[in-house]
Structure 1
Amino acid sequence: MDIKNIDEAWNELLNQLENLVGKRPVDLNAVLFLIGVQELGKGPRRFSKEVKQDLMHIAVCRVLSQSGYYSFEGYDKDGWPQWTLMKPIPHADLLTQEIFLKEHVISYFQSELV
């Protein structure tokens, strides 16, 4: 996907999420947080800053698992998903990393929001 198509698909995704949750996510981190909450499967509640970071990590692992970067290993004793890094994530500048993650997030929602 080129940058123009990614931007268009991203804006469409944000519109869909706004319709779904009632509030437009402000940035990539907000979308990753929503994915993390969904993947944890414990429903909406208040989360500490540390737990929010853990939820975003779950989301990154989940969306990058589509391309084989992570493999789902199961759940720990507290019901949190556990992932194993399978191959190195490409090093890039911040903008390239954001585009890389957005592509994977768009793909995640294309498969999950059917």
Structure 2
Amino acid sequence: MNEKDVDKQWEGLLDQLQQLVGKRPADLNAVLFLIGVQELGKGPIRFSKEAKQDLMHIAVCKVLSQSGYYTFDGLDKDGWPQWILAKPVPPGDLLTQETFLKEHVIEYFQSALV
């Protein structure tokens, strides 16, 4: 998928999320946070700054697991998902990495809606 296609699909996804949650996510980090909360499965509770970072990490692992970059390793003692890096994530500049993540986030939501 080229960058222009990703941007178009990304905007459509943000529109869908706005209808779903009542507020348009500001950026990729906000969408990753939503995915992390969903994957944690504990509902809408207050999270510390550190926990929010952990939620975004969970989201990155989850969306990249679709392409085999991470493997689910179970839950820790507090019920948080744990992931193992299965293969190196391709290197790239910031824009390339953001586009790469957006593609995977779009795929995540497409598979969730099927």
TM-score category by the smaller chain? over 0.9
Q: Residue deviations 1:40-95, cap 9 Å, x none?
A: 00001111110000000000000000000000011111100010000011111000
Moved more, 72-81 or 26-35: 72-81
Equivalent-residue separation in structure 1 for 2:88 and 2:42 (angstroms): 30
| Aligned match of 1:70 | 70
Q: TM-score, with normalisation over the residues of structure 2?
A: 0.98
Number of residues paired by the alignment?
114
| Aligned match of 2:88 | 88
- Which aligned pairs between 1:44-63 and structure 2 lie closer than 5 A? 44-63=44-63
RMSD: 0.6
Shift of 1:4: 1.2
- Which aligned pairs between 1:1-114 and structure 2 lie closer than 5 A? 1-114=1-114
Runs of 4+ in structure 1 deviating by more than 4 angstroms, as ranges, are none
- Unaligned segments of structure 2, at least 5 residues: none
